[in-house]
Structure 1
Amino acid sequence: MSTPVDPAVTALARRWRVELDTGTAGTPSWDLCPGITSLTPAAEPNIEDSSDYDSDGWAGNTKTGQSWELSMTINRKINDQAKTYNAVHEALRLAAYSYGSASRVHVRYYDRNGLPEAYEGYAIVTWAPSGGEYTALDQVEVTLTGDGPLLPIANPKAEEAPGGGS
Protein backbone atom coordinates (compact mmCIF):
# COMPACT_ATOMS: atom_id res chain seq x y z
CA MET A 1 0.00 0.00 0.00
CA SER A 2 1.36 3.42 -0.90
CA THR A 3 1.71 6.24 1.59
CA PRO A 4 -1.02 8.87 1.14
CA VAL A 5 0.13 12.36 0.14
CA ASP A 6 -0.94 15.19 2.41
CA PRO A 7 -2.37 17.83 0.04
CA ALA A 8 -1.63 20.59 2.57
CA VAL A 9 2.16 20.17 2.33
CA THR A 10 3.96 21.73 -0.63
CA ALA A 11 7.64 21.17 -1.44
CA LEU A 12 9.82 24.27 -1.20
CA ALA A 13 12.05 25.55 -4.00
CA ARG A 14 14.99 25.68 -1.58
CA ARG A 15 14.92 21.90 -1.25
CA TRP A 16 17.67 21.54 -3.87
CA ARG A 17 21.32 20.96 -2.98
CA VAL A 18 24.02 21.27 -5.66
CA GLU A 19 27.41 19.57 -5.32
CA LEU A 20 30.49 19.66 -7.52
CA ASP A 21 32.92 16.76 -7.85
CA THR A 22 36.30 18.26 -6.93
CA GLY A 23 38.01 14.87 -6.74
CA THR A 24 39.99 12.97 -9.33
CA ALA A 25 38.87 10.50 -11.99
CA GLY A 26 37.54 7.41 -10.22
CA THR A 27 37.62 9.06 -6.77
CA PRO A 28 34.80 11.60 -6.52
CA SER A 29 34.78 14.19 -3.76
CA TRP A 30 31.39 15.90 -3.62
CA ASP A 31 31.53 19.45 -2.26
CA LEU A 32 28.56 21.74 -1.58
CA CYS A 33 27.98 24.79 -3.77
CA PRO A 34 26.97 27.27 -1.05
CA GLY A 35 25.04 30.51 -1.36
CA ILE A 36 22.44 29.48 -3.96
CA THR A 37 19.57 31.97 -3.96
CA SER A 38 17.77 30.75 -7.08
CA LEU A 39 17.89 27.46 -8.98
CA THR A 40 16.08 26.39 -12.15
CA PRO A 41 16.63 22.88 -13.50
CA ALA A 42 15.48 22.09 -17.05
CA ALA A 43 15.56 18.92 -19.17
CA GLU A 44 13.99 19.68 -22.54
CA PRO A 45 13.20 16.95 -25.04
CA ASN A 46 13.55 17.43 -28.80
CA ILE A 47 10.26 16.28 -30.32
CA GLU A 48 9.80 15.80 -34.06
CA ASP A 49 6.53 15.45 -35.94
CA SER A 50 6.17 11.79 -36.97
CA SER A 51 2.63 12.05 -38.37
CA ASP A 52 1.66 9.79 -41.24
CA TYR A 53 -1.37 8.81 -43.32
CA ASP A 54 -2.06 5.73 -41.16
CA SER A 55 -3.09 7.72 -38.06
CA ASP A 56 -6.54 8.84 -39.26
CA GLY A 57 -5.47 12.47 -39.06
CA TRP A 58 -4.06 12.30 -35.54
CA ALA A 59 -0.64 13.91 -35.13
CA GLY A 60 2.27 11.67 -34.20
CA ASN A 61 5.36 12.80 -32.30
CA THR A 62 8.70 11.16 -31.56
CA LYS A 63 11.26 12.18 -28.97
CA THR A 64 14.59 12.26 -30.83
CA GLY A 65 16.89 13.90 -28.30
CA GLN A 66 17.24 15.50 -24.89
CA SER A 67 19.20 18.39 -23.42
CA TRP A 68 19.53 19.64 -19.86
CA GLU A 69 20.58 22.77 -18.03
CA LEU A 70 20.89 23.98 -14.46
CA SER A 71 20.63 27.76 -13.96
CA MET A 72 21.43 29.25 -10.59
CA THR A 73 22.19 32.51 -8.88
CA ILE A 74 24.77 32.33 -6.12
CA ASN A 75 25.90 34.74 -3.43
CA ARG A 76 29.68 34.75 -3.81
CA LYS A 77 31.31 33.42 -0.62
CA ILE A 78 34.75 34.63 0.50
CA ASN A 79 37.23 34.23 3.32
CA ASP A 80 38.11 37.88 3.88
CA GLN A 81 41.03 36.98 6.18
CA ALA A 82 42.78 34.61 3.75
CA LYS A 83 41.65 36.61 0.68
CA THR A 84 40.16 33.54 -1.02
CA TYR A 85 36.85 32.63 -2.62
CA ASN A 86 34.89 29.48 -1.84
CA ALA A 87 36.65 26.56 -3.56
CA VAL A 88 33.53 25.32 -5.39
CA HIS A 89 32.72 28.83 -6.65
CA GLU A 90 36.31 29.15 -7.86
CA ALA A 91 36.18 25.76 -9.62
CA LEU A 92 33.04 26.89 -11.47
CA ARG A 93 34.57 30.26 -12.40
CA LEU A 94 37.79 28.72 -13.66
CA ALA A 95 35.92 26.10 -15.71
CA ALA A 96 33.90 28.89 -17.34
CA TYR A 97 37.09 30.52 -18.60
CA SER A 98 38.74 27.28 -19.76
CA TYR A 99 38.61 25.11 -22.87
CA GLY A 100 38.56 21.38 -23.52
CA SER A 101 38.22 19.03 -20.56
CA ALA A 102 39.04 21.87 -18.14
CA SER A 103 35.76 23.58 -19.12
CA ARG A 104 33.70 20.57 -18.05
CA VAL A 105 32.47 19.91 -14.49
CA HIS A 106 30.91 16.87 -12.84
CA VAL A 107 27.81 17.93 -10.91
CA ARG A 108 24.95 16.41 -9.00
CA TYR A 109 21.85 17.96 -7.52
CA TYR A 110 19.23 16.43 -5.30
CA ASP A 111 16.46 17.03 -2.79
CA ARG A 112 18.24 17.90 0.46
CA ASN A 113 15.39 16.34 2.47
CA GLY A 114 15.99 12.86 1.06
CA LEU A 115 13.06 12.70 -1.36
CA PRO A 116 13.83 10.54 -4.41
CA GLU A 117 14.57 13.29 -6.93
CA ALA A 118 18.35 13.31 -7.64
CA TYR A 119 20.46 13.74 -10.79
CA GLU A 120 24.08 13.66 -11.92
CA GLY A 121 25.90 14.66 -15.09
CA TYR A 122 28.71 16.58 -16.76
CA ALA A 123 28.27 20.20 -17.83
CA ILE A 124 29.92 23.22 -19.42
CA VAL A 125 29.91 26.33 -17.19
CA THR A 126 28.79 29.87 -18.00
CA TRP A 127 29.72 32.46 -15.37
CA ALA A 128 28.14 35.94 -15.41
CA PRO A 129 28.61 38.34 -12.46
CA SER A 130 25.40 40.27 -11.76
CA GLY A 131 26.95 43.60 -10.79
CA GLY A 132 24.61 46.01 -9.06
CA GLU A 133 24.27 49.03 -6.82
CA TYR A 134 26.74 49.88 -4.06
CA THR A 135 24.48 48.10 -1.56
CA ALA A 136 24.17 44.89 -3.58
CA LEU A 137 25.68 41.53 -2.71
CA ASP A 138 28.23 39.99 -5.06
CA GLN A 139 26.03 37.60 -7.00
CA VAL A 140 26.82 35.47 -10.04
CA GLU A 141 24.52 33.86 -12.59
CA VAL A 142 25.86 30.35 -13.25
CA THR A 143 24.53 28.16 -16.03
CA LEU A 144 25.54 24.51 -16.26
CA THR A 145 24.76 23.27 -19.78
CA GLY A 146 24.65 19.50 -19.98
CA ASP A 147 27.38 17.71 -21.92
CA GLY A 148 25.93 14.23 -22.17
CA PRO A 149 23.18 12.58 -20.17
CA LEU A 150 21.63 13.79 -16.94
CA LEU A 151 21.24 10.55 -15.02
CA PRO A 152 18.77 9.89 -12.23
CA ILE A 153 20.72 8.67 -9.18
CA ALA A 154 19.88 7.45 -5.68
CA ASN A 155 19.53 10.48 -3.43
CA PRO A 156 22.65 10.68 -1.19
CA LYS A 157 20.44 12.04 1.64
CA ALA A 158 17.77 9.31 1.34
CA GLU A 159 19.10 7.35 4.32
CA GLU A 160 19.19 10.32 6.70
CA ALA A 161 16.41 11.02 9.18
CA PRO A 162 13.66 13.40 8.03
CA GLY A 163 14.74 17.02 8.36
CA GLY A 164 18.40 15.93 8.43
CA GLY A 165 19.35 17.75 5.22
CA SER A 166 21.90 20.51 5.49
Structure 2
Amino acid sequence: MSTPTENALARQWRLDVNMGTVEVPDWQLCPAITEFQPTWPPNLEDSTTYDSEGWEESTKTSQSWQVEATFNRMASPDATTYSPVHERLRTVSFGYGADSKVPIRFYDRDGLPEAYSGTVLVTWEPQGGDYKALGQIKATLKGTGALVPITNPVTP
Protein backbone atom coordinates (compact mmCIF):
# COMPACT_ATOMS: atom_id res chain seq x y z
CA MET A 1 0.00 0.00 0.00
CA SER A 2 1.42 3.39 -0.97
CA THR A 3 1.53 6.43 1.28
CA PRO A 4 -1.10 9.04 0.32
CA THR A 5 0.50 12.15 -1.16
CA GLU A 6 -2.40 13.88 -2.95
CA ASN A 7 -4.88 16.27 -1.36
CA ALA A 8 -8.52 15.17 -1.33
CA LEU A 9 -10.83 17.74 -2.90
CA ALA A 10 -14.10 19.10 -1.48
CA ARG A 11 -15.77 18.15 -4.75
CA GLN A 12 -15.18 14.47 -4.01
CA TRP A 13 -18.88 13.79 -3.37
CA ARG A 14 -21.64 12.56 -5.65
CA LEU A 15 -25.26 12.44 -4.50
CA ASP A 16 -27.79 9.96 -5.89
CA VAL A 17 -31.53 9.94 -5.19
CA ASN A 18 -33.61 6.77 -5.44
CA MET A 19 -36.20 7.54 -8.12
CA GLY A 20 -37.58 3.98 -7.89
CA THR A 21 -38.77 1.97 -4.91
CA VAL A 22 -37.01 0.22 -2.04
CA GLU A 23 -37.62 -3.10 -3.81
CA VAL A 24 -36.51 -1.85 -7.23
CA PRO A 25 -34.13 1.08 -6.70
CA ASP A 26 -33.37 3.50 -9.53
CA TRP A 27 -30.40 5.57 -8.35
CA GLN A 28 -30.02 8.79 -10.34
CA LEU A 29 -27.40 11.50 -9.99
CA CYS A 30 -28.38 14.85 -8.48
CA PRO A 31 -26.80 17.19 -11.05
CA ALA A 32 -25.14 20.60 -10.74
CA ILE A 33 -24.11 20.52 -7.07
CA THR A 34 -22.01 23.57 -6.13
CA GLU A 35 -21.67 22.93 -2.36
CA PHE A 36 -21.96 19.73 -0.35
CA GLN A 37 -21.65 19.33 3.42
CA PRO A 38 -22.39 15.99 5.11
CA THR A 39 -22.37 15.82 8.92
CA TRP A 40 -23.07 13.07 11.46
CA PRO A 41 -22.53 14.51 14.95
CA PRO A 42 -22.99 12.27 17.98
CA ASN A 43 -25.06 13.28 21.00
CA LEU A 44 -22.73 13.08 24.01
CA GLU A 45 -24.13 13.22 27.54
CA ASP A 46 -22.09 13.96 30.64
CA SER A 47 -21.71 10.70 32.58
CA THR A 48 -19.17 11.96 35.11
CA THR A 49 -19.32 10.48 38.61
CA TYR A 50 -17.32 10.97 41.77
CA ASP A 51 -15.43 7.81 40.79
CA SER A 52 -13.78 9.57 37.84
CA GLU A 53 -11.61 11.59 40.28
CA GLY A 54 -12.45 14.90 38.64
CA TRP A 55 -12.06 13.79 35.04
CA GLU A 56 -15.15 14.35 32.94
CA GLU A 57 -16.67 11.34 31.24
CA SER A 58 -19.18 11.26 28.39
CA THR A 59 -21.49 8.65 26.92
CA LYS A 60 -22.70 8.62 23.35
CA THR A 61 -26.49 8.27 23.53
CA SER A 62 -27.58 8.90 19.94
CA GLN A 63 -26.44 10.14 16.56
CA SER A 64 -27.94 12.35 13.88
CA TRP A 65 -26.93 13.07 10.31
CA GLN A 66 -27.73 15.39 7.46
CA VAL A 67 -26.47 16.67 4.14
CA GLU A 68 -26.64 20.29 3.07
CA ALA A 69 -26.37 20.58 -0.70
CA THR A 70 -26.60 23.66 -2.89
CA PHE A 71 -27.14 23.14 -6.58
CA ASN A 72 -27.88 25.08 -9.73
CA ARG A 73 -31.49 24.54 -10.79
CA MET A 74 -31.41 22.74 -14.14
CA ALA A 75 -34.18 23.22 -16.74
CA SER A 76 -34.76 21.67 -20.15
CA PRO A 77 -33.66 23.69 -23.22
CA ASP A 78 -37.30 24.57 -23.98
CA ALA A 79 -37.86 25.64 -20.33
CA THR A 80 -40.76 23.23 -19.81
CA THR A 81 -39.27 20.84 -17.23
CA TYR A 82 -36.72 20.77 -14.43
CA SER A 83 -34.27 18.00 -13.60
CA PRO A 84 -36.36 14.98 -12.49
CA VAL A 85 -34.05 14.47 -9.50
CA HIS A 86 -34.42 18.10 -8.42
CA GLU A 87 -38.18 17.76 -8.83
CA ARG A 88 -38.23 14.62 -6.68
CA LEU A 89 -36.48 16.48 -3.86
CA ARG A 90 -38.81 19.49 -4.21
CA THR A 91 -42.01 17.43 -4.18
CA VAL A 92 -40.85 15.30 -1.25
CA SER A 93 -40.34 18.52 0.73
CA PHE A 94 -44.13 19.05 0.61
CA GLY A 95 -45.05 15.51 1.67
CA TYR A 96 -46.17 13.99 4.95
CA GLY A 97 -45.63 10.48 6.28
CA ALA A 98 -44.06 8.14 3.73
CA ASP A 99 -44.39 10.85 1.05
CA SER A 100 -41.99 13.08 3.02
CA LYS A 101 -39.06 10.65 2.81
CA VAL A 102 -36.65 9.67 0.06
CA PRO A 103 -33.63 7.33 0.04
CA ILE A 104 -30.29 8.87 -0.92
CA ARG A 105 -26.71 7.74 -1.15
CA PHE A 106 -23.54 9.77 -1.36
CA TYR A 107 -20.06 8.58 -2.13
CA ASP A 108 -16.58 9.48 -3.27
CA ARG A 109 -16.76 10.08 -7.03
CA ASP A 110 -13.29 8.57 -7.57
CA GLY A 111 -14.15 5.22 -5.99
CA LEU A 112 -12.40 5.73 -2.65
CA PRO A 113 -14.06 3.76 0.15
CA GLU A 114 -16.19 6.52 1.71
CA ALA A 115 -19.85 5.88 0.79
CA TYR A 116 -23.14 6.10 2.73
CA SER A 117 -26.85 5.51 2.31
CA GLY A 118 -29.97 6.47 4.24
CA THR A 119 -33.44 8.00 4.14
CA VAL A 120 -34.00 11.74 4.44
CA LEU A 121 -36.59 14.43 4.97
CA VAL A 122 -36.07 17.40 2.61
CA THR A 123 -36.03 21.14 3.28
CA TRP A 124 -36.12 23.07 -0.02
CA GLU A 125 -34.84 26.67 -0.04
CA PRO A 126 -34.59 28.70 -3.27
CA GLN A 127 -31.64 31.08 -2.86
CA GLY A 128 -32.89 34.04 -4.92
CA GLY A 129 -30.34 36.63 -5.99
CA ASP A 130 -29.90 39.60 -8.27
CA TYR A 131 -30.34 39.68 -12.04
CA LYS A 132 -26.90 38.12 -12.65
CA ALA A 133 -27.40 35.16 -10.31
CA LEU A 134 -28.05 31.58 -11.32
CA GLY A 135 -31.14 29.92 -9.94
CA GLN A 136 -29.87 27.95 -6.95
CA ILE A 137 -31.49 25.73 -4.36
CA LYS A 138 -30.20 24.84 -0.90
CA ALA A 139 -31.57 21.45 0.09
CA THR A 140 -31.14 20.21 3.63
CA LEU A 141 -31.46 16.43 3.66
CA LYS A 142 -32.14 15.50 7.30
CA GLY A 143 -31.50 11.86 8.05
CA THR A 144 -34.35 9.85 9.52
CA GLY A 145 -32.96 6.56 10.75
CA ALA A 146 -29.47 5.20 10.33
CA LEU A 147 -26.76 6.45 8.00
CA VAL A 148 -25.28 3.20 6.72
CA PRO A 149 -21.78 2.80 5.29
CA ILE A 150 -22.06 1.05 1.90
CA THR A 151 -19.71 -0.22 -0.76
CA ASN A 152 -18.91 2.67 -3.09
CA PRO A 153 -20.99 2.08 -6.25
CA VAL A 154 -18.16 3.37 -8.49
CA THR A 155 -15.48 1.14 -6.98
CA PRO A 156 -13.99 -0.97 -9.77
> Alignment identity in percent?
49
The correspondence for 1:137, drawn from 134, 137, 147, is 134
CA distance in 2, matches of 1:145, 1:87: 20
Aligned to 1:3: 2
1:127 to 2:145 alignment: no
Aligned to 2:143: 146
CA distance in 2, matches of 1:118, 1:40: 14
Aligned to 1:78: 75
The amino acid across from 2:84 in the alignment is: A
Q: Report the TM-score, using the length of structure 1 for normalisation.
A: 0.91
1:49 to 2:28 alignment: no
Structure 1 outlier segments of 4+, above 6 Å: none
Superposition deviation, residue 24 in structure 1: 1.7
The correspondence for 1:62, drawn from 45, 52, 59, is 59
Deviations 1:120-153 (A, max 9, x none): 0000000000011011100001000000010011
| Equivalences for residues 29-40 of structure 1 within 5 A | 29-40=26-37
Deviations 1:89-147 (A, max 9, x none): 00000001111111101000000000000000000000000011011100001000000
Aligned to 1:158: 155
CA distance in 2, matches of 1:36, 1:13: 12
Deviations 1:27-56 (A, max 9, x none): 111000001000000101000000111112
CA distance in 2, matches of 1:158, 1:41: 20
Aligned to 2:111: 114
The amino acid across from 1:43 in the alignment is: W
**Structure 2: gaps (5+ residues):** none
Aligned to 1:163: none
SS in 1 for 2:40: strand
Q: Report the TM-score, using the length of structure 2 for normalisation.
A: 0.97
Backbone CA RMSD of aligned residues:
0.9
**Structure 1: gaps (5+ residues):** 160-166
CA distance in 1, matches of 2:77, 2:95: 26
SS in 2 for 1:84: coil
CA distance in 1, matches of 2:107, 2:22: 22
1:103 to 2:72 alignment: no
The amino acid across from 2:66 in the alignment is: E
Superposition deviation, residue 82 in structure 1: 6.1
